């Protein structure tokens, strides 16, 4: 898997109305770019959580049990992607 800036990411609206995607760090913020469409910005900001959820999916085997923690992580990532 390729390298990427680790989450948590956030979409922040700028004074001119476009959005910056920022990666939150312990002591600094990394700006990842400017996005015109707020829906695109929300989806991009949710990308790390969405990837984590997909990578942790237990699969579709007969004995696989999707636990409440996985379902809540999925729902949280979806809400973030939708800006809720």
33 inside domain: yes
1 inside domain: no
66 inside domain: yes
Confidence at residue 63, expressed as pLDDT on a 0 to 100 scale? 53
> What residues contact residue 26 under an 8 Å CB cut-off, 6+ apart?
none
3 inside domain: no
Whole-structure pTM over 0.85, yes or no? no
Cα distance between residue 40 and residue 35, in whole Å: 7
4 inside domain: no
**Residue 9, strand partner residues:** 23
Name the domain count of the chain.
1
Burial 72-83 (b: 16+ CB within 10 A, else e): ebbeebeebbee
Q: Which domain holds residue 14?
A: 9-81
- Residue 12 burial (CB count, 10 A): 12
Walk along the chain (84 residues) and give the pLDDT tens digit of each residue.
Answer: 557 777 788 888 888 888 888 887 755 566 767 788 888 888 888 888 888 887 777 665 545 567 777 788 888 888 888 888
């Amino acid at each position: 898997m390729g390298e990427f800036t680790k989450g948590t990411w956030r979409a922040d609206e700028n004074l001119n109305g476009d959005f910056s995607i920022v990666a939150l760090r312990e002591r600094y913020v990394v700006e990842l770019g400017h996005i015109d469409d707020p829906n695109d910005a929300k989806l991009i900001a949710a990308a790390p959580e969405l990837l984590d959820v997909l990578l942790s999916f237990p699969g579709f085997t007969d004995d696989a049990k999707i636990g409440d923690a996985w379902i809540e992580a999925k729902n949280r990532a979806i809400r973030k992607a939708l800006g809720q």
